[in-house]
Structure 1
Amino acid sequence: MQQRTPITPDPRTAPAPGTERGTDRSRRRFLAAAGTLGGSLAAAPLGTARAAGPPAPRRAAGRTVAVLGGGVSGLTAAHELAERGYRVTVYERNPTLGGKARSMDVPGTGGAGRRPLPGEHGFRFFPGFYRNLPDTLRRIPVPGSATGAHGNLVDATEVLFARDGGRPDLRLPFRTLLAAPSLELLLPDALLQTLTGLLDTSLHLPATEIAYFANRMLVHLTSCEERRLGQWEHIPWWEFVRADRMSYDYQRLLAIGLTRNLVATRAEVASTRTVARILQAFLYNVLGFGTDGEPDRVLNAPTSEAWIDPWTAQLSDLGVRFELGCEVQELTYSDGLVSGVRLADLDSGRIRTVTADHYLSAMPVEHARLTWGPALRAADPGLARCDRLQTDWMVGVQFYLRTRTPIVHGHVDYVDTPWALTSISQAQFWPGRDFRADYGDGTVAECLSVIVSQWDTPGVLYGRPALKCTREEVVREVWAQLKGSLNDTGRAVLRDDDVHSWFIDPAVTGLGGPAPANREQLLVQTVGSHDNRPPAATAVPNLFLAGDYTATDIDLATMEGANESARLAVNALLDADGSNRPRCTVWTLYRPPELELLQQQDAVRYRLGLPNALDFG
């Protein structure tokens, strides 16, 4: 789990292809022309509705609900149900709550009154276009914070695209551009000009490629929902943006990099609908529309300290019970209803069955679908579609360093790394924590949290994919790839003798052996996957589904998706129960009314078999 032996340096080489550019004057002239539609398009502004706020907490005794899974979706469901008077028990396999979002103590690392070093499955961030999860955060009391756990969010203001082989890194501001955004920015001409300008200023790609990518984004922005589901859902992002025809930098930055960072899947298989929806959400966030805050926010302490622990304390106060260390084996079914849940206590091995009036399954899809037996699947044949949903590895390595190493005030994307690395230096965002005084043995000053997104690509050190490496080899390989991007200009950003220790989530097992496994995988939005995502309500009247694999508006495996799915599941349960308690507020992604007319026109074209009016191939 943890290694204290210093990492020895290893040589690293990487290709550094260049791109040709024209003169600045001709480039500006070209982009100015590309960024205008000639005023031929218009959109009529329409109003938007706002939902009511959350209900006041209620402690009245009510019917019982078994929530299966103690991750973000399970805790959200428990929160909403307890506030509406239901008696809730959460059953969780892990010894701690929070799922993939939790932080974990690194065993044997605390001392002299200091906490153990904080480990995690991987870093997390809270974009400003999240609306459901921030609402929950505001409702979690935290001493000294008028806005609850939401007050523990802090802004990350930059992003760094780190390149290999001495190529210039791209360090960019990442924040909302306008304090008072103008609705005119959402008209097609203005959107295209804004997109073109942002890309040109930030990425320095060939002007023709910038113009093409901006046009592709506008095609999706003006597409009707029928086209998005019927056409773009079934086309890979790589194909939609014509990455195979473009430069190496275009492929790495706009095709591969965006899907890796924002959608956590591969451009070659990722649904265009999913990728483009998240990109447009970030675009509107940067322009100041439909936001809860800045585009990139992180917590001001380890996740469990800043969020999960206060949350579980609040839920306990609301009467929620937690049973940890118990694994759901099967939801038993009889007489048209779920009749119970068979559990295995991991410590004793004892098998038992628990019952409730309602059952809300909030486990990850790869675990949930194993608990649906033949009788239950026969009762709801739609459950079988979940077997087609795919998951993949996305897990991190935390490097504990002896020196504060704030590489950038935000996230780093190591664009050229074969293992698709991203990272964040966390100590800079924890102002209330003195790392040396609060954690470990008193010598650790930094936690550099790195995520490995591609576990099946050969590395630079051993020539093997991460799945074929031991834990120690994975760590050395990740460190070598980090240095290949950060130390390639001669400046020693990372030093081998600065590494104190490291941590990989114990959910990852068997590395270096014949059967590597990861119990905490991530759903990936492959082409067509939307069709296989189930609704919150099943055909079984007392069974409901939550989790980032279910059908949500955000349509992405994220904490926001998990939170939204739980709200939908609770609303479905309230409907089935005939409850008169208020329904959960559910926020959807921002939809500019200025584009609705174009989307309505596109719906007509789609039904006639015609392409989007701006789709020039």
Structure 2
Amino acid sequence: MRAGVPGRDRRARRIDPRPGTAAVTGQAPRVAVAGGGIAGLSAATVLAERGVRVVLYERREELGGRLAGWPTRLADGSPVTMSRGFHAFFRQYYNLRALLRRADPRLRTLAPLPDYPLRHSRGHGDSFAGLPRTPPWNALGFVARSPTFGWRGLAGMRPRAALRLLDVRVPDVYRRLDGVSAQDFLREIRFPPDARHLAFSVFSRSFFSAPGELSAAELALMFHIYFLGSAEGLLFDVPDEPFPAALWDPLERYLRERLGVEIRTGSAVESVLPRGERGLLVGCGSGAGSVSGSGSGSGSGEELYDAVVLAADVAGLRALVARSPGLGGGPWRERVAAARTAPPFLVSRLWLDRPVAAERPGFLGTGGYGELDNVSVLERWEGEAARWAARTGGSVVELHAYALDPLDDPAAVRRRLVGQLHQVYPETRRAEVVDVRDEWRADCPLFPVGGYPDRPEIRTGDPRVVAAGDAVRVELPVALMERAATTGFLAANALLERWGVRGEPVWTVPPAGRPALFRALARLS
């Protein structure tokens, strides 16, 4: 990290908040944050650091949202932590990393993986290790050595159409490409067929969407954030222990003990009802599988707040708004009601009685193997899995499959995934499964063709109520976990402005493509 810049990219952009006091003066306002995922934790942190009294509600017993973890016990008696699976913490995630630095200033719990390898069933593959990190040299270096792309593939593309990937500006990219699917866009620019799995594996499938459903604007934004617009590179870090131990337990201690945040897990915000000048009446109930909150003890009832941050997932936000007449403006409510979730995905984690081959990478993206999208060997980086593998002589392997048919049977999908694992890593055919855990979920936001104008925004029409999360629209080049953290910061900033308090600066990758010559040519295309 260079002085004044959160990463290595000198062109990273800083967006400063409005001027104001360093902290709240006088009677501190009281704010409810609905949702304990990345967005809610980000908003709660910024607010509490500036003297706001914060109560954080999370319907589950664990913090972390879609990155939560929970204890389970294997058939061999081993206590382990289960989660929804592998997540890559890219170096471009400036705001997420800023959040995590609150409890871990040097990010010691994030370990780098040496490569982001991709493999197709036809036998060819790609690697991002050792490439230059600064555009356009990273792209040229990739083309020079890629067996699936190469100079022939580059020469076969339609240059005028493809140049649009080099001039990605938000929100202009949505005006130009949101009406086209990712699949059709790649066909239009004649992206080499053998390399399409690369684009789908790295970018489209990251959104849990089939390429025919995903907006081409989101695909182009991904290319910009991770490859063509940023000098941070496409390699990433992973937590060296399960999510709770590495990320959320330390952050929870910071919030509770250093900032005085009241955290009520097992407590869901059911409704938010405006009560004029008195404030907002927040109605709560116990979350799934919970009788009461584990924070201050109030798991249900109604309380008045000065402001509210809505940081629930898509389904939770839709239900909350539907139960809250008068909350937010009419157009914003309509956007929330229209929000959709992506098709279901499956995470299957297998504890095997023997190891996979030593040369297998910690993470492998796959294409052409049926539903299988990637394979992780957890003991390559996660301490808990490594200790289990060392004690038993086995391996902990995780399989991901995205954009599945909602009518599919999860157990049948897992059986197919295991068969596909045997093709990718043949030595696993001899392994017995000690235990298995499946996570079948359908709660990630969908970014469909033409859907950008209908996304809910941070500002709801009521200045006391703001929204945050990866489904929330923000006109910055951010996505996935980083969009959640960024909107959390910006939602907190929007409330702090009302009280004359200076908020949190946010950082993004460069807001436009580079170099300038390519941008100019793209605008002529």
Give your verdict on TM over 0.5: yes
Q: Which runs of 5+ in 2 are unaligned?
A: 1-9, 293-298
Structure 2 distance, partners of 1:64, 1:368, is: 21
Per-residue CA deviation, residues 51-85 of structure 1 (Å, 9 max, x unaligned), is 679x9999997211100011111111111111111
Report the residue type matching 1:283 in the other structure.
F
Report the residue type matching 1:447 in the other structure.
V
2:406 pairs with 1:454: no
Deviates more, 1:97-106 or 1:384-393: 384-393
Conservation of the 8 A alpha-carbon contact between 2:14 and 2:506: no
2:372 pairs with 1:397: no
2:423 pairs with 1:484: yes
Per-residue CA deviation, residues 521-567 of structure 1 (Å, 9 max, x unaligned), is 11122222221222212211211111111122456652211100100
2:506 pairs with 1:586: yes
Conservation of the 8 A alpha-carbon contact between 2:353 and 2:395: yes
Report the residue type matching 2:309 in the other structure.
L
Report the residue type matching 2:404 in the other structure.
W
How far residue 248 of structure 1 moved from its aligned partner, in angstroms, is: 4.7
What secondary structure does 1:372 align onto?
helix
CA gap 1:546/1:52 in 2 versus in 1, 3 angstroms = closer
How far residue 339 of structure 1 moved from its aligned partner, in angstroms, is: 2.5
Structure 2 distance, partners of 1:234, 1:431, is: 44
Residues 84-103 of structure 1 mapped to structure 2, 5 A cutoff: 84-103=50-69
Deviates more, 1:343-352 or 1:294-303: 343-352
CA gap 1:500/1:428 in 2 versus in 1, 3 angstroms = same
What secondary structure does 2:56 align onto?
strand
Conservation of the 8 A alpha-carbon contact between 1:421 and 1:451: yes
CA gap 1:486/1:311 in 2 versus in 1, 3 angstroms = same
How far residue 583 of structure 1 moved from its aligned partner, in angstroms, is: 1.2
Partner residue in 1 for 2:481: 559
Query: Larger Rg: 1 or 2?
Result: 1
Structure 1 distance, partners of 2:212, 2:184, is: 7
Partner residue in 2 for 1:134: 97
Residues 522-601 of structure 1 mapped to structure 2, 5 A cutoff: 522-553=444-475, 558-576=480-498, 578-580=499-501, 582-591=502-511, 595=515, 599=519
What secondary structure does 1:386 align onto?
helix
Conservation of the 8 A alpha-carbon contact between 2:476 and 2:511: no
- Which residue, out of 13, 34, 37, partners 1:68? 34
Structure 2 distance, partners of 1:123, 1:226, is: 30
Structure 2 distance, partners of 1:544, 1:563, is: 14
How far residue 401 of structure 1 moved from its aligned partner, in angstroms, is: 2.1
Structure 2 distance, partners of 1:523, 1:214, is: 32
Partner residue in 1 for 2:370: 418
Per-residue CA deviation, residues 192-221 of structure 1 (Å, 9 max, x unaligned), is x76355135223347543334584543232
**Residue correspondences, number:** 500
How far residue 261 of structure 1 moved from its aligned partner, in angstroms, is: 4.2
Structure 2 distance, partners of 1:60, 1:96, is: 34
Residues 242-257 of structure 1 mapped to structure 2, 5 A cutoff: 242=187, 248-254=193-199, 256-257=200-201
Q: Which runs of 5+ in 1 are unaligned?
A: 1-45, 142-146, 457-465, 509-517, 603-611
Report the residue type matching 1:565 in the other structure.
T
Partner residue in 1 for 2:332: 382
Conservation of the 8 A alpha-carbon contact between 2:132 and 2:138: no
How far residue 375 of structure 1 moved from its aligned partner, in angstroms, is: 2.9
- Which residue, out of 172, 184, 188, partners 1:239? 184
- Which residue, out of 484, 497, 501, partners 2:435? 501
Partner residue in 2 for 1:342: 283
What secondary structure does 2:448 align onto?
coil
Partner residue in 2 for 1:26: none
CA gap 1:223/1:560 in 2 versus in 1, 3 angstroms = closer
Structure 2 distance, partners of 1:94, 1:226, is: 34
What secondary structure does 1:527 align onto?
coil
What secondary structure does 1:241 align onto?
helix
Conservation of the 8 A alpha-carbon contact between 2:74 and 2:435: no
2:443 pairs with 1:521: yes
2:235 pairs with 1:295: yes
CA gap 1:356/1:283 in 2 versus in 1, 3 angstroms = same
Partner residue in 2 for 1:354: 303
Structure 2 distance, partners of 1:151, 1:567, is: 23
How far residue 48 of structure 1 moved from its aligned partner, in angstroms, is: 7.1
Aligned-residue RMSD, C-alpha: 3.4
Report the residue type matching 1:264 in the other structure.
F
Report the residue type matching 2:432 in the other structure.
D
How far residue 265 of structure 1 moved from its aligned partner, in angstroms, is: 2.2
Conservation of the 8 A alpha-carbon contact between 1:106 and 1:118: yes
Partner residue in 2 for 1:315: 255
Deviates more, 1:524-533 or 1:376-385: 376-385
Conservation of the 8 A alpha-carbon contact between 2:166 and 2:514: no
2:49 pairs with 1:83: yes
Structure 1 distance, partners of 2:305, 2:393, is: 47
CA gap 1:137/1:566 in 2 versus in 1, 3 angstroms = same
Conservation of the 8 A alpha-carbon contact between 1:222 and 1:595: no
Q: Percent identity?
A: 21
Partner residue in 1 for 2:4: none
CA gap 1:443/1:194 in 2 versus in 1, 3 angstroms = closer
2:80 pairs with 1:117: yes
What secondary structure does 2:371 align onto?
coil
CA gap 1:337/1:503 in 2 versus in 1, 3 angstroms = farther
Conservation of the 8 A alpha-carbon contact between 2:347 and 2:438: yes
CA gap 1:426/1:224 in 2 versus in 1, 3 angstroms = closer
How far residue 103 of structure 1 moved from its aligned partner, in angstroms, is: 1.9
Structure 2 distance, partners of 1:358, 1:86, is: 10
Structure 1 distance, partners of 2:278, 2:376, is: 47
- Which residue, out of 315, 322, 332, partners 1:366? 315
Structure 2 distance, partners of 1:450, 1:476, is: 11
Conservation of the 8 A alpha-carbon contact between 1:60 and 1:85: no
How far residue 475 of structure 1 moved from its aligned partner, in angstroms, is: 2.4
Structure 2 distance, partners of 1:380, 1:337, is: 22
Structure 1 distance, partners of 2:277, 2:521, is: 45
Per the normalisation by structure 2, the TM-score is 0.84
How far residue 443 of structure 1 moved from its aligned partner, in angstroms, is: 2.7
What secondary structure does 1:159 align onto?
coil
What secondary structure does 1:322 align onto?
strand
Partner residue in 2 for 1:229: 174
Report the residue type matching 1:414 in the other structure.
T
2:276 pairs with 1:327: no
CA gap 1:336/1:234 in 2 versus in 1, 3 angstroms = farther
Conservation of the 8 A alpha-carbon contact between 1:407 and 1:425: no
CA gap 1:58/1:429 in 2 versus in 1, 3 angstroms = farther
How far residue 250 of structure 1 moved from its aligned partner, in angstroms, is: 3.6
CA gap 1:265/1:443 in 2 versus in 1, 3 angstroms = same
Structure 1 distance, partners of 2:479, 2:514, is: 28
CA gap 1:75/1:137 in 2 versus in 1, 3 angstroms = same
Structure 2 distance, partners of 1:426, 1:56, is: 43
2:203 pairs with 1:281: no
Per-residue CA deviation, residues 478-536 of structure 1 (Å, 9 max, x unaligned), is 1112223333xxxx2x135332111123xx4xxxxxxxxx4x61112222222122221
